[in-house]
Structure 1
Amino acid sequence: MAKEQGRKLIAQNRRARHDWSVLDTYETGIVLTGTEVKSLRQGKASLVDGFATVDRGEVWLRNVHIPEYTEGTWTNHEPRRSRKLLLHKDEIIRLIGKIQESGLSLIPLSLYFSDGKAKVELALAKGKKAHDKRQDLAKKDAQREIERAMGRARKGKW
Structure 2
Amino acid sequence: MPDKKGTKQVTANKKAWHDYFVEDKFEAGIELFGTEVKSIRQGQINLKDSYCTFKDGELFVRGMHISPYEKGNIFNKDPLRVRRLLMHKKEIANLFGKTKQDGYSLIPLSVYFKSSRVKLELGLCRGKKLHDKRDSIAARDAKREMDRAMKERNR
TM-score of the superposed pair, with normalisation by structure 1: 0.91
The residue that corresponds to 1:102 in the other structure is: 102
The residue that corresponds to 1:113 in the other structure is: 113
Residue 28 of structure 1: how far off its partner (Å): 0.7
The residue that corresponds to 2:21 in the other structure is: 21
Aligned partner letter, 2:142: A
Residue 152 of structure 1: how far off its partner (Å): 2.3
Q: Partners in 1 of 2:139 and 2:49 — Cα distance?
A: 27
- Aligned-residue sequence identity (percent) comes to 48
Q: Which runs of 5+ in 2 are unaligned?
A: none
The 5 A counterparts of 1:18-57 are: 18-57=18-57
4+ runs deviating over 6 angstroms: none
Residue 58 of structure 1: how far off its partner (Å): 0.6
Residue 72 of structure 1: how far off its partner (Å): 1.1
TM-score of the superposed pair, with normalisation by structure 2: 0.92
SS at match of 2:9: strand
Residue 121 of structure 1: how far off its partner (Å): 0.6
Which protein has the larger Cα radius of gyration, Structure 1 or Structure 2?
1
SS at match of 1:74: helix
How many equivalent pairs are there? 151
SS at match of 1:138: helix
Q: Partners in 2 of 1:76 and 1:24 — Cα distance?
A: 34
1:72 aligns with 2:90: no
SS at match of 1:24: strand
- C-alpha deviations, 1:11-65, integer Å up to 9, x for none? 2111110011101111111110111111111111000110001111111011100
Q: Partners in 2 of 1:143 and 1:42 — Cα distance?
A: 35
Q: Which runs of 5+ in 1 are unaligned?
A: none
Aligned partner letter, 2:102: S
The 5 A counterparts of 1:105-144 are: 105-144=105-144
CA contact (8 A) 2:103 2:127 kept: no
Residue 89 of structure 1: how far off its partner (Å): 1.5
Residue 7 of structure 1: how far off its partner (Å): 1.6
Residue 125 of structure 1: how far off its partner (Å): 0.4
